[in-house]
Amino acid sequence: MEGIVSSKQQQPLVFAYYVTGHGFGHATRVVEVVRHLILEGHIVHVVTAAPDFVYTSAIQSPRLFLRKELLDCGAVQCDALTVDRIASLEKYSETAVIPRETILATEVKWLQSIKADLVVSDVVPVACRAAADAGIRSVCCTNFSWDFIYAEYVVDAGSQHRSIVLQIAEDYSHCEFLIRLPGYCPMPAFRDVLDVPLVVRGLHKSRAEVRKELGVEEDVKLVIFNFGGQPAGWKLQEEFLPPGWKCVVCGGSDKEEYPPNFIKLPKDAYTPDVIAASDCMLGKIGYGTFSEAMAYKLPFVFVRRDYFNEELFLRNMLEHYHGGVEMIRRDLLTGCWQPYLERAIRLKPCYDGGVNGGEVAAGILQDTALGKNHASDKPCGARRLRDAIVLGYQLQRVNNRIIGIPDWYNVEENKLVGRSSEGSQFLREVEDFEILHGDPQGLPDTMAFLKSLADIGAGHDSKKDTDDEVREDLAAAGLFNWEEEIFVARAPGRLDVLGGIADYSGSLVLQMPIREACHVAVQKNHPSKQKLWKHAQARHHADHEKLAPILEIVSLGSELNNRGPTFDMDLSDFKDDEKPISYEAARKYFAKDPSQKWAAYVAGTIVVLMTELGVCFENSISILVSSGVPEGKGVSSSAALEVATMSAIAAAHGLNIPPRDLALLCQKVENHVVGAPCGVMDQMTSACGEANKLLAMVCQPAEVLGVVDIPSHVRFWGIDSGLRHSVGGSDYGSVRIGTYMGRKIIKSTAAGLSKGNKKDDMDKDGIELLDNEASLDYLCNLPPHRYEGVYVDKLPETITGEEFIKKYVNHEDSVTTIDPKHIYAVKAPTRHPVYENFRVEAFKALLTATTSDGQLSALGELMYQCHYSYGACGLGSDGTDRLVELVQEMQHSKASKSENGTLYGAKITGGGSGGTVCVIGKNFVGSNEQILEIQRRYHVATGFKPYVFEGSSPGAGKFGYLKIRRRNATE
């Protein structure tokens, strides 16, 4: 901007504008406010760490003064998408806490020297205190404050820094009021609030001018790539973009060579012009990118950042105005951009609010500097109380207890989300549905499932060419009465981090709910209203029966797993003389047709509810299943299906079943109806898990101990070996039997030793110890030193079933049956849970230890030990062994050592014999690159490209259920 002159002839005011050291977004919005102050003829001193060109490219005026100073550090990032919480706290302490007295003295002296009329902060805490000490009024202008951001860091990663949050809040309290920007977070430290529109930089050039300069034709789709810098070592490739597209890259490296369909913008390019000339943006959500995308109605494909609380509130506003599409990080790094970009350009962003926040804020600042006392147009006491409670939740929560932003806060305070409240019920419109109860929680897979429900019945897709797909479509289209309520539940799969097959031996286990989940929609109808498939109609008419309740199930995606897409039955088949049929009879019922045995996981929940809770199902039930949890990979696809189904059925029938009890009921489905022996850790994780936490539990007896925080520098992945896994296989069953045999032998040995030593007047404590071991409930209660010192030599390597029964009668496991002719391994399966419980306890303790490479190395070593113990039990596989070897090769490579390591350990998961490997590593982009390299090498070696599991999501208990009804639906 050239030739700026005052629009008013008045004595110029002097503003001292402090800008936080975090990111360009703050600097770019400050530019807009400062520009309007200078237009009014005032003098502005900007205290900033940002490069001069950010300000001088937009403001060329002798009234602008730039002073380079870093008085806070913001959030320290490992890379473009990952915040290092501990480093952020330590850096803030180094930058603003240790030199605090010097900073205050320097700033007071400087403010007095420039004769500042008003101090403005965005949002440097110490600036407010320095202004107070200098006797100058101060105002903050922001959408978030650092006490809110750091509160999470303090709780999760460094409680010794709690005083930082309190000091920041105290500094802000010296501010006279807050100019609050849209998309704001809770900010209790500020006494009063004035809301302004979006602060957005204006345009200098037209769309046509910008495209001409870039050499991009008008009919070419253009995406702007804006991450504040490209992740180090990551190569942009031509095939990342759809055919005919081009991409302009912000903040690209000067050393990087770009493909012909990528254009690197100069570092001093005026990005608002490029944003307005583009068709969509791909980047991370920060205020600058968010506000300009909103203002210029540009669809925004975003990738979430870790541990930056501001993002949640900006994302809510972006999605409310139909402007956002979330891309998962893996797809960003692997170049799977096309489906996201094509979806984005179909959006119609509809933000219609003001975009002159810079001008409005400048007017408020001018009036304040002239002596006007501003007061908000509404009382702020209630708002401050709500903000304070939210912040208090963050500061006061304890280990294993996570409290997020309460629903009532979002309802009352974040108006732009578009929610209204009546008691605890919410009514929201999502796509074609009214949501009468519950919250989709912004989960992309849930939104996609609701979209698929809306699309059902729209007609057969001619692109589908298999009989199963045609049947699936037709059956799903007529499944529901759309004018009636439908109940939807969601349950994730799980990644077995440690514990695995030791669950049935009473070991502590650590499990993480994964991002992939199963959705189940349930509707109950009076038999007279139930839509019957043609064969069911024929069956009922032939029997000349009165109307009777039936069960109809459609499983989407059945063609991927070679099973029938539909299942139906009369619910009376589950009764025997008005009583529920036995589990054995139910098991035989579902075994009649192998292609429909899958229905036992779904319909089996009804049998269990009838048997265990005495539920009487008098209405027909329609069930639609859509699972994103890959089957046979060892990530509990069956548990997710059971938990989601039972949750939806319970909701539809008004049953309030606590998550733990629901998990136990679902275990009965798998053990007794399906006939696959399993511990309860899978169902517990799916029902009780929390996103981005490890669920700690013991499964014998079933008890959830709480959640364990995953430190910010630690990340877990799952890599599928491609070998089919089944907990119902003979390997798992024989190992379980061998484990119970070993326990029985130890108990028998302990009883014999106790009896013999009593005659020899053995020490009383020694006799008591042996007596306890003679009644050993679970092998995990036997310490490794007792196992090695007393019992290891008494255990045979193997034993036949016949020999064991002859000597010990039975193995005391109600789930499995000994085959007399089978040879069972005993020593290795017995040793595994004894040492596994020790490993899990150590792993849990290490997660809370001081951050170091030694910590990660120790965690990884425990996982390696677990993996080889699985192998000793006979539950290994070539595929999982190869993946673990690739992790080791990567870990010990020269490149990893020079970079202080990225991956640290791996192990087979769940029931073993194939399935998925869990990997632990540092939480930064370099680790993702190594995971992708392992995926590539495994593909080259085996011809199979493994699926990578990353990310987490809430369990069924945290999700609750949705009650939905289609809007303006007709049958």
The confidence score (pLDDT) of residue 429 equals 42
SS3 category, 796: coil
Q: How many C-beta atoms lie closer than 10 Å to residue 277's C-beta?
A: 25
The confidence score (pLDDT) of residue 375 equals 61
Contact 721, 916 (CB under 8 A): yes
471 band by pLDDT with thresholds 50, 70 and 90: low
The confidence score (pLDDT) of residue 968 equals 67
The 3-class secondary structure across 689-753, one letter per residue, is: CCCCEEEEEEECCEEEEEEEECCCCEEEEEEECCCCCCCCCHHHHHHHHHHHHHHHHHHHHHHHH
Q: Which distant-in-sequence residues (6+ apart) come within 8 Å of 442 by Cβ? A: 315, 316, 319
- Rounded-to-integer distance, Cα 774 and Cα 768, Å: 10
Residue tagged active-site, from 496, 503, 568, 682 = 682
**Residue 467: active-site member:** no
- Mean pLDDT over all residues of the chain? 85
- Rounded-to-integer distance, Cα 278 and Cα 297, Å: 10
- Rounded-to-integer distance, Cα 395 and Cα 398, Å: 9
The confidence score (pLDDT) of residue 421 equals 32
Whether 165 has a pLDDT exceeding 90, the answer reads no
Whether 629 has a pLDDT exceeding 70, the answer reads yes
pLDDT digits (tens, 9 = 90+) for 813-846: 987 899 999 999 999 999 999 999 999 999 999 9
Whether 415 has a pLDDT exceeding 80, the answer reads no
pLDDT digits (tens, 9 = 90+) for 433-467: 888 899 888 788 898 899 888 888 555 444 444 44
The confidence score (pLDDT) of residue 831 equals 96
373 band by pLDDT with thresholds 50, 70 and 90: confident
All domains of the chain, ordered by start, with CATH?
Answer: 14-199+371-380 (3.40.50.2000), 207-354 (3.40.50.2000)
Contact 130, 103 (CB under 8 A): yes
- Rounded-to-integer distance, Cα 629 and Cα 515, Å: 9
pLDDT digits (tens, 9 = 90+) for 854-864: 899 999 999 99
Whether 776 has a pLDDT exceeding 60, the answer reads yes
pLDDT digits (tens, 9 = 90+) for 137-146: 999 999 999 9
Mean pLDDT to the nearest integer, 718-747: 82
Residue count of the chain: 971
Contact 953, 515 (CB under 8 A): yes
431 band by pLDDT with thresholds 50, 70 and 90: low
SS3 category, 961: coil
Q: Which distant-in-sequence residues (6+ apart) come within 8 Å of 644 by Cβ? A: 489, 490, 491, 517, 518, 519, 520, 625, 627, 686, 956
Q: Which token pair is 434?
A: 């009214």
Helix (H) or strand (E) holding 496: strand 486-498
The confidence score (pLDDT) of residue 57 equals 81
786 band by pLDDT with thresholds 50, 70 and 90: very high
H helices of 158-304, where?
162-172, 207-214, 271-277, 287-295
Q: Which range, of 7-21, 684-698, 777-791, 876-890, averages the lowest pLDDT?
A: 7-21
pLDDT digits (tens, 9 = 90+) for 838-874: 999 999 999 988 777 789 999 999 999 999 999 999 9
Determine what percent of the chain is predicted with pLDDT higher than 90: 55
The confidence score (pLDDT) of residue 350 equals 92
Whether 23 has a pLDDT exceeding 80, the answer reads no
Q: Which distant-in-sequence residues (6+ apart) come within 8 Å of 450 by Cβ? A: 430, 431, 433, 440, 488, 964
Specify whether the backbone of 901 is left (phi greater than 0), alpha (psi in -120 to 50) or beta. Answer: left
541 band by pLDDT with thresholds 50, 70 and 90: low
**Residue given tokens 């170049």 in the structure block:** 335
Degrees, nearest 5: CA angle 714-719-722: 170
391 band by pLDDT with thresholds 50, 70 and 90: low
- Rounded-to-integer distance, Cα 291 and Cα 183, Å: 9
Whether 63 has a pLDDT exceeding 50, the answer reads yes
The confidence score (pLDDT) of residue 495 equals 96
Helix (H) or strand (E) holding 412: helix 407-413
Whether 75 has a pLDDT exceeding 60, the answer reads yes
Helix (H) or strand (E) holding 38: helix 23-39
pLDDT digits (tens, 9 = 90+) for 271-321: 999 999 999 999 999 899 999 999 999 999 998 887 777 888 888 888 888
Whether 428 has a pLDDT exceeding 50, the answer reads no
119 band by pLDDT with thresholds 50, 70 and 90: very high
The confidence score (pLDDT) of residue 77 equals 81
Q: How many C-beta atoms lie closer than 10 Å to residue 887's C-beta?
A: 28
495 backbone dihedrals φ, ψ, rounded to 5°: -105, 120
Determine what percent of the chain is predicted with pLDDT higher than 70: 85
80 band by pLDDT with thresholds 50, 70 and 90: confident
Query: What value does the CA radius of gyration of the chain take, rounded to a whole number of Å?
Result: 32
